[in-house]
Amino acid sequence: MTTLRKQNFVDQHRGSGVELNSLKQDSAATTALTQAGVSVSALEQADKNRDGRLTGKEELAAVFDAFDAGRTGTVTTALPSGAATATGNALQAMLAHRSVNTAAPGLAQLSGTVGRGGQNKTEDVKKVQQRLADLGFDIDVDGQWGPQSQRNLDLFDGILHGREHQASGARVDVMLTLHKALLSADAPRWVEMPLRGRGFKNADADNHDYGAHITRNAIVAAGKHYADHYLASHPNAAVIATNDASLPRGGDTPDHASHEVGLDLDVRLPRTDGESGGVTVTSGGYDKNAARAMIEAFARQDEVERVLIGDRNLLAEFQARGESWALKVRDGGRQHRDHLHVDVKRPRLS
């Protein structure tokens, strides 16, 4: 019989952790969890800082407690025959969604600059490339600094500084801003937007489905708020239907003037028939009440900087409230009469 102790589990995984939102989209993993008697909601409760990751001593201890129903400090992962238990299968499925929160080995000891106009020594380049790859950016780790590497560093830099447009020419200087950001456990990560969750679904149909992890977190949090505060009493209303974020590699998109660095999100307008999209704020089928609740759900999230809307009546309502979160709702003009636009704040590094 194979057992796993709580302290060993925490020590083994505190430097990596688990991508919670990725896990929730894996039906095989969630089935394995259910068979082990562990609910997804229990893992969500373990996400103390609501960043979409289960990492660090406190959160991983809470994850272990979700498996250890008797609070004995140990769980059985395999039988004497060697066959995995339901708990063992669930842990394995969960840990397939491990995230990388620590910098690539040796990154703290760069010997020179990396990036546009940098010294770009092979070993230094590999360290930066590996860190960007670990953070989800589409980059080859080959020690050669070329256009692909520069594009990804520019994208990382754009997220870090909260730019509407991706700049060019970023460079990692030893122990200055970009270097410190790459070393941070809170470094911006490039992720696919979630397919669905409580209170929301992904309605993107043209490959604008990637962005910064902060954007993904804002979607999940807003969906929960909307489900708890509106759908619970209006079960036939439309769920939040997210649309365009950014292209798989970020950068220019013909569909938008912004949406380049994964900190922008469009949301379809809700309809009175419980669906979304295909209406404007003056259409007969536009569900103003659901829209109001969706706008509030996003505006109340700490990750959200502002929400642009084209409904002047709702704008006046929010502005009249005077609360700090309500003042995030801004006039998006005529171009936002058929959708909401959410701007997400740049990441805060510890």
Over the chain (350 residues), what is each successive 10-residue block's mean pLDDT?
A: 81 70 84 91 86 80 88 86 83 76 73 95 95 89 95 95 81 94 88 89 90 93 96 97 92 82 96 97 97 98 96 97 96 96 88
Phi–psi pair at 303, nearest 5 degrees: -70, -20
- Beta-carbon contacts of residue 25 (< 8 Å; ≥ 6 apart): 194, 195, 196
Report how far apart, in Å, the C-alpha atoms of 199 and of each of 85, 172, 229, 238 are.
33, 40, 10, 9
Condensed to tens digits (0 to 9), the pLDDT of residues 68-88 reads 888 898 999 878 776 789 998
Q: Name the 3-class secondary structure at 248.
A: coil
pLDDT for the residue numbered 51: 75
Structure confidence at residue 287 (pLDDT): 98
Question: What is the 3-state composition of the chain as percent helix, strand, coil, each rounded to the nearest 5?
Answer: 40, 15, 45
Give the pLDDT score at 105: 67
Taking alpha carbons only, the member of 289, 338, 334 closest to residue 314 is 289
pTM above 0.85, yes or no: no
For 80-124, the three-class secondary structure string (H helix, E strand, C coil) is CCCCECHHHHHHHHHHCCECCCCCCCCHHHCCCCEECCCCCCHHH
Give the integer Cα–Cα distance in Å for 149 and 137: 10
Task: Give the pLDDT confidence score for residue 252 in this predicted structure.
Answer: 81
